[in-house]
């Protein structure tokens, strides 16, 4: 099972044609109608940054792996940070269109659910 997860994780990361939702300036009170579009070559992850103070968000591709508590190559996750301009929620995830929902509770939970579902079938 562990090896299978590693293979699956690597296959997510090594895809050349990752697609992500890409929104320059979104408003949290308006549903996101964006579609998932091609990232440039070398993109590894999708990210979503929510400005909880202003009620806005951006979504984009990222050519880095997810980080968690300063450790790179981490699993998909969301982290709250508070800056001088307000509270931000940053989510990072692997896989096409994974940064879809602005209010997703936990990408990690979704990823683990998906993985266990696949693992169950295999």
By CB under 6 A, name the binding residues for ligand NAG: 13, 27, 29-30, 44, 52, 54-56, 64-65, 72-73, 78, 80, 89
Pick the closer one to ligand NAG by CB: 36 or 66.
66
Which residues are 48's β-sheet partners? 59, 91
State the minimum distance, in angstroms, from the CB of residue 54 to ligand NAG: 5
Query: Do the beta carbons of residue 95 and residue 17 sit within 8 Å?
Result: no
Q: Which helix (H) or strand (E) holds 6?
A: helix 2-13
CB nearer to ligand NAG: give 103 or 117: 103
The nearest distance, CB 97 to ligand NAG, in angstroms, is 19
- Could you tell me the smallest distance in angstroms from the CB atom of residue 72 to ligand NAG? 6
Closest contact distance (angstroms) between CB of 10 and ligand NAG is 6
Nearer to ligand NAG, 29 or 85 (CB): 29
**86-113 b/e with 16+ CB inside 10 Å = b?**
eebbebbbbbbebbbebeeeebbebbee
Identify any residues that bridge with 89 across adjacent strands, giving them in sequence order.
50, 80
> Given the complex with ligand NAG, which of 29 and 121 has the nearer CB atom?
29
As a whole number of angstroms, the distance between CA 29 and CA 81 comes to: 21
């Amino acid at each position: 099972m562990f090896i299978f997860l590693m293979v699956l994780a690597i296959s997510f990361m090594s895809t050349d044609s990752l697609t992500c939702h890409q929104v320059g300036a979104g408003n949290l009170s308006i549903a996101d109608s964006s579609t998932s579009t091609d990232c440039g070559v070398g993109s590894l992850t999708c990210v979503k940054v929510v400005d909880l103070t202003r009620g806005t968000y951006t979504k984009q591709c990222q050519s880095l792996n997810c980080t968690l508590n300063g450790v790179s190559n981490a699993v998909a996750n969301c982290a709250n940070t508070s800056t001088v301009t307000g509270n931000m929620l940053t989510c990072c995830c692997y896989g096409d269109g994974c940064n879809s929902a602005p209010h997703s509770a936990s990408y990690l939970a979704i990823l683990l659910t998906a993985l266990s579902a696949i693992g169950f079938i295999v």
